[in-house]
């Protein structure tokens, strides 16, 4: 039975936390079976973490926010010490820069897994004694969301390194020809953001009324076939399709197609978790960044939707609107709503305002309990390793 982590009861949270940990460990173990030693032999890339560090960080986060009674993520705010002597020094992302995570003298995987199991057992025991109301369940819901997000990060790492997934589907559902088309939305006023019932991320608050003018938006995401027309027309070589930032990014690449596309004679094939497969023409294009999405729109005489338009459409209940296969780039920079206040996980949003771009929806690697029309994902515009595509709007 699918439920939202935002309103999950204590019983549902207990089941979901165990499920999330089982999934985390299954993902983690794939690195060893693929020939990696789970830390030092993983390439040092800006877009991934060493798997051993990531596993420890997940457990540390749960310990910090639940077992140690921290009121915020600020260093020193925990009321109790870690079960692991050097837990904070190793796994607090506020204290350990990304590049340093490859050099840490971390304990062996077996010892770290033992600590992870101990943390989860104590979290579940504390959950049994927690009142079933939103304020009391907040840290447990936060911990679940954090682990589910890192589960998707593991999937991105596996795609980047060419490692097969243990469980999730490796293909996105194709777009039926009959489903492709445009939807005319009359616009109007709607409530943007989360109203505080259940769990909400700080960047979704406070809820507020927004008015959106009428707009026309695609019912589905741009397909491989459609993006392939842009590629075949030399879209990556025509500078007028690219923004200034996009041209600067493109000059540093050797790309004439999406990063996972590989030429096979006159056809394209896609690199998916270490395997080359036929590129379905009617599957949503994935692994494109904001600049590539913008360039396609300029070529097609279209534009990306604003995040307000996307949320308005997703809340409309329109039967023809399909979302959830891939994260979708919007034309909106990631900015706080008026009245924003950082929550206990204080570095979740605030450090990334203005530099990142909003994506909406979900991907095939997003756990169903995480999916919400309110969820504001955000990445740097140049990221094309993530499971992201886009849809367009009429100018």
Q: Do 217 and 183 belong together in one domain?
A: yes
Co-location of 183 and 155 in the same domain: no
**pLDDT at residue 192, rounded to an integer:** 96
- Which band of pLDDT confidence, cut at 50, 70 and 90, is reported for residue 40? low
**Residues spanned by the domain of 375:** 177-394
163 and 273 Cβ atoms separated by less than 8 Å:
yes
One domain for residues 93 and 201 = no
How do residues 151-163 score in pLDDT, each as one tens digit? 999 999 999 999 9
Number of domains observed in the structure of the chain: 2
Last residue of a domain, one of 110, 131, 161: 161
Region 77-83: mean pLDDT is 95
What the block records as the tokens of 110 is: 């077996």
Cα–Cα distance, 98 to 321 (Å, whole number): 39
Q: Which pLDDT tens digit goes with each residue over 222-270?
A: 999 999 999 999 999 999 999 999 999 999 998 999 999 999 988 999 9
Question: Residue 108 domain-assigned?
Answer: yes
Residues 224 and 362 in one domain: yes
pLDDT-based confidence at 218, cuts 50/70/90?
A: very high
Answer yes or no: do 257 and 302 share one domain: yes
Flag whether pLDDT at 170 surpasses 60: no
Mean pLDDT of the chain: 94
Tens-digit pLDDT profile for residues 324-356: 989 999 999 999 999 999 999 999 999 999 999
* 26 and 34 Cβ atoms separated by less than 8 Å: no
Residue 171 has a pLDDT of 60
| pLDDT at site 120 | 98
Between 47 and 170, the more confident residue is 47
Residue 385, in any domain of the structure: yes
144 with 23, same domain: the answer is yes
| pTM score | 0.96
CATH number, domain of 52, equals 1.20.120
Rounded CA gap, 101 and 240, in Å?
Answer: 41
Which of 161, 187, 214 lies at the terminal end of a domain, its last residue?
A: 161
Asked if 134 and 63 sit in the same domain, the reply is yes
Let me know whether 41 and 15 are in one domain.
Answer: yes
Task: DSSP letter for 65, please.
Answer: I
DSSP 349: T
Quick check: is 169 in a domain? no
**Mean pLDDT within 168-187:** 78
Region at 198 (left for phi over 0; alpha for psi -120 to 50; beta for the rest): left
Q: Assess if residue 223 is contained within a domain.
A: yes
In this predicted structure, what is the pLDDT of residue 357? 98
Q: Is 315 found in the same domain as 200?
A: yes
Of 116, 132, 161, which one is at a domain's C-terminal end? 161
Sequence-separated contacts (24+) of 363-366 with Cβ below 8 Å: 363/152, 363/324, 363/325, 363/326, 363/327, 363/387, 363/388, 364/168, 364/169, 364/171, 364/172, 364/325, 364/326, 365/151, 365/152, 365/155, 365/156, 365/168, 366/148, 366/152, 366/324
CATH number of the domain encompassing residue 231: 3.90.1580.10
Using pLDDT thresholds of 50, 70 and 90, give the confidence band for residue 175: confident
Q: Tokens 């300029």 belong to which residue?
A: 298
Quick check: is 300 in a domain? yes
- Shared domain check, 154 and 181: no
Q: Which residues of 149-186 are buried (b: 16+ CB within 10 A; e: fewer)?
A: ebbbbbbbbbbbbebebbebebebeebeeeebeebebe
Q: Are residues 70 and 200 in the same domain?
A: no
Domain assignment of residue 168, yes or no? no
352 and 384 fall within a common domain: yes
pLDDT tens, 97-135?
999 999 999 999 999 999 999 999 999 999 999 999 999
Helix, strand, coil percentages (3-state) for the chain, rounded to 5, are 40, 15, 45
Residue 351 lies in a domain: yes
- Residue 167 domain-assigned (yes or no): no
């Amino acid at each position: 039975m699918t439920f939202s982590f935002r309103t999950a009861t204590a019983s549902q949270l207990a089941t979901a936390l165990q499920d999330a940990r089982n999934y985390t460990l299954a993902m983690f173990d794939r690195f060893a079976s693929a020939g990696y030693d789970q830390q030092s032999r993983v390439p040092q890339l800006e877009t991934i973490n060493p798997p051993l560090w990531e596993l420890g960080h997940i457990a540390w986060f749960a310990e910090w926010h639940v077992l140690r009674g921290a009121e915020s993520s600020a260093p020193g705010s925990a009321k109790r010490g870690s079960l692991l002597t050097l837990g904070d020094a190793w796994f607090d992302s506020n204290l350990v820069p990304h590049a340093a995570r490859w050099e840490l003298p971390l304990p062996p995987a077996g010892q770290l897994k033992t600590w992870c199991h101990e943390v989860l057992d104590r979290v579940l025991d504390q959950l049994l004694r927690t009142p079933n109301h939103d304020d009391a369940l907040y840290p447990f819901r936060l911990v679940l969301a954090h682990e589910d997000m890192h589960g998707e990060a593991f999937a991105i790492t596996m795609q980047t390194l060419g490692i097969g997934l243990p469980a999730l589907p490796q293909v996105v559902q194709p777009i039926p020809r009959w489903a492709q088309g445009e939807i005319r939305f009359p616009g109007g006023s709607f409530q943007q953001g989360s109203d505080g019932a259940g769990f909400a991320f700080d960047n979704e608050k406070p809820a507020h009324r927004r008015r959106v003018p009428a707009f026309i938006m695609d019912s589905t995401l741009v397909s491989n076939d459609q993006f392939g027309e842009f590629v075949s027309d030399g879209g990556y070589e025509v500078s007028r399709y690219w923004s200034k930032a996009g041209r600067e990014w493109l000059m540093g690449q050797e790309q004439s197609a999406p990063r996972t596309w590989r030429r096979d004679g006159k056809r394209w094939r896609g690199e998916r978790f270490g395997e080359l497969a036929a590129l379905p023409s009617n599957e949503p294009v994935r692994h494109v960044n904001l600049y590539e999405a913008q360039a396609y729109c300029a070529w097609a005489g279209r534009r990306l939707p604003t995040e307000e338009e996307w949320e308005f459409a997703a809340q409309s209940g329109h039967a023809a609107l399909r979302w959830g296969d891939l994260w979708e780039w919007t034309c909106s920079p990631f900015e706080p709503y008026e009245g924003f206040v950082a929550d206990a996980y204080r570095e979740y949003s605030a450090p990334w305002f203005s530099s990142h771009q909003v994506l909406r929806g979900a991907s095939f690697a997003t756990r169903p309990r995480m999916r919400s029309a309110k969820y504001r994902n955000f990445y740097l515009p140049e990221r094309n390793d993530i499971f992201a595509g886009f849809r367009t709007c009429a100018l």
